[in-house]
Amino acid sequence: MFTGIVQALGRIQGQERRGDDVRLRVSGGGLSLDDVAVGDSIAVNGVCLTAVAVAAEAFEADVSVETLDRTSLGGLGAGSRVNLEKALTPATPLGGHLVSGHVDGLGTVEACHPDGRSWRFRFRAPDRLARYIAEKGSICVDGVSLTVNAVDGPCFEVNIVPHTMDATRFGEYRSGHSVNLEVDLIARYLERLMLGEQAAAPGASGITREFLARSGFRTD
């Protein structure tokens, strides 16, 4: 588990193809790895990866086909900057929100503009994730815990303060840039719980208008 509070900006040092998978080598960018051992988890752009080799200033992690398909990690070349966060401990301040590091899908930067001393970003999420994104709810973008300021269909807006612009990859984002999205895990589990026994039915994928009507909710 993570908090979505980025601890350092690292860099991809290299990618090595191993069959259909990839092994990444990532420099820590000042992140202390003294307490990181092989088998520990580190979030890279919001993706929970397992360290398979650890050196003084870098670590390696394998990226599976599933992760390559779901995230932007496969498209990062040598030199690309990445948001890093070590797994939380019982003593870690929970400054963001509970983040699993399991990316739900890829979003796209639609626009950004100054908003006072901050920046206002607009993202487009995949349609299937729109139901999990709520105004003033939490969302994780490339490993950064953020508050949703506005929602418009599959699009949402967030406010980025100067510190976050400096401490994360947000300063590099331009229109069309792909980002890893993780929705609030409470919303994800709540939907599954609401399905009740129907969750075990083949093809059960989520709450629909038909499901709500059968369950006695008004849908007009």
Do 8-86 and 105-183 have matching folds?
Answer: yes
**pTM (whole model) above 0.95:** no
The pLDDT value recorded for residue 220 is 61
The pLDDT value recorded for residue 53 is 97
- How is domain 8-86 classified at the CATH fold level? Elongation Factor Tu (Ef-tu); domain 3 (2.40.30)
User: DSSP labels for 141-195?
Assistant: ETTEEEEEEEEETTEEEEEE-HHHHHHSGGGG--TT-EEEEEE-HHHHHHHHHHT
- pLDDT under 50: residue ranges of the chain: none
- How is domain 105-183 classified at the CATH fold level? Elongation Factor Tu (Ef-tu); domain 3 (2.40.30)
The pLDDT value recorded for residue 94 is 83
Burial zone of 11 (CB within 10 Å; 0-12 exposed, 13-18 middle, 19+ buried):
middle
The pLDDT value recorded for residue 198 is 75
